[in-house]
Amino acid sequence: MIHKKLTLLLLIFTFFSCKKEVKDKNQKLQVVTTTSMITDMVKNIGGDLIEVEGLMGSGVDPHLYKASEGDVSKLVNADVIFYNGLHLEGKLVEVFEKMKHQDINTIAIGESLDKNTLIGSDYFASNYDPHIWFSVENWKIITTFVTHKLTEIDPKNAEAFKANGKAYLAKLNELETTLKNTIATLPKEKRILVTAHDAFSYFGKAYNFNVVGLQGLSTATEAGVQDVQKLANFIIEKEVKAIFVESSVPKRTIEALQAAVKSKNHEVTIGGTLFSDALGNAGTKEGTYIGMFEYNVNTIINALKY
């Protein structure tokens, strides 16, 4: 099957070895990205000067993503590939590492961050939590990093990339101010965020939330009965008012948690759906990184406040 790692690698390198460098100097830079968050950032920096192909759309879980045959063509024709790294794209990690060793321009944006600022993880091979986009400070550092990489790869458009990057950084600064003002309306003792999997640790660290995920850091792990019962007891003890579904994770785990709380003669509401590992639909406010973050925070605060 095309989804098997070895088959995918063979296809990529077969296509790549046959690829001829006949690129016109005036042709736009061909960029491939993995997650929708990275796609949105790169589009903001590159604007109309580049062509961006995102592998993962709305609602796609990068932990479990398997490259399709159509992805092979995108990858081999790319001038540069931006991916998260830190083993977020579990099924694609080996592919990107081997491509890099073949001098194919693959760039892990997570490598731009100081390892001392990352949150540790026993689950991921990198030993770090890969959900780095839930810190706006991280995203600003990565924006600067990606801007620099694009100027190196396509120097004729360097000034435009720098201007676009600066404009996007200004928007991220404005976003952070907005988020802090909104979160300040929620008392600290109510800042307990319970979700399907533990994607929000960087958010919790930045805004003083106690974050608990039912499935742990990766959706590849399954929550057992004991996990559900333990978290149900925690919700009752802490008087948590609402728990949250995630757009890229089946809602059955959170519904099971809600039922477990009810079986103990307590009630907890489902406060809404949060965007965790993917943005919303293209063309919507939630289909952008900034819009997604504002939506998530508003949903969390409105559900926990009263």
| Higher local confidence (pLDDT), 175 or 77 | 175
pLDDT of 220 reads 46
Is the pLDDT assigned to residue 3 strictly greater than 80?
no
DSSP summary character for residue 148? H
pLDDT (tens digit per residue) in 80-129: 999 999 999 987 988 888 888 877 899 999 999 999 999 998 776 678 99
Is 292 in contact with 275 (CB distance < 8 Å)?
yes
Mean pLDDT of 65-80: 88
| Weakest mean pLDDT among 141-145, 179-183, 197-201, 204-208 | 197-201
The C-alpha atoms of residue 17 and residue 247 are separated, in whole angstroms, by 39
Is the pLDDT assigned to residue 238 strictly greater than 70?
yes
The pLDDT-based confidence of 231 (bands split at 50, 70, 90) is: very high
| Higher local confidence (pLDDT), 6 or 160 | 160
Percent with pLDDT over 70 in the chain: 88
Is the pLDDT assigned to residue 282 strictly greater than 70?
yes
Is the pLDDT assigned to residue 18 strictly greater than 80?
no
pLDDT of 116 reads 95
| Weakest mean pLDDT among 103-107, 212-216, 233-237, 291-295 | 212-216
pLDDT of 216 reads 53
pLDDT (tens digit per residue) in 52-61: 999 999 988 8
The C-alpha atoms of residue 43 and residue 21 are separated, in whole angstroms, by 25
pLDDT (tens digit per residue) in 265-275: 999 999 999 99
Instruction: Kindly tell me the burial class for residue 77, based on how many C-beta atoms sit within 10 Å of its own C-beta (0-12, 13-18, 19 or more).
Output: middle
| Weakest mean pLDDT among 119-123, 201-205, 295-299 | 119-123
Q: What is the pTM of this model?
A: 0.90
Query: In terms of DSSP H, where are the helices of the chain?
Result: 5-18, 36-46, 69-76, 93-101, 136-153, 158-183, 201-207, 225-238, 252-263, 289-305
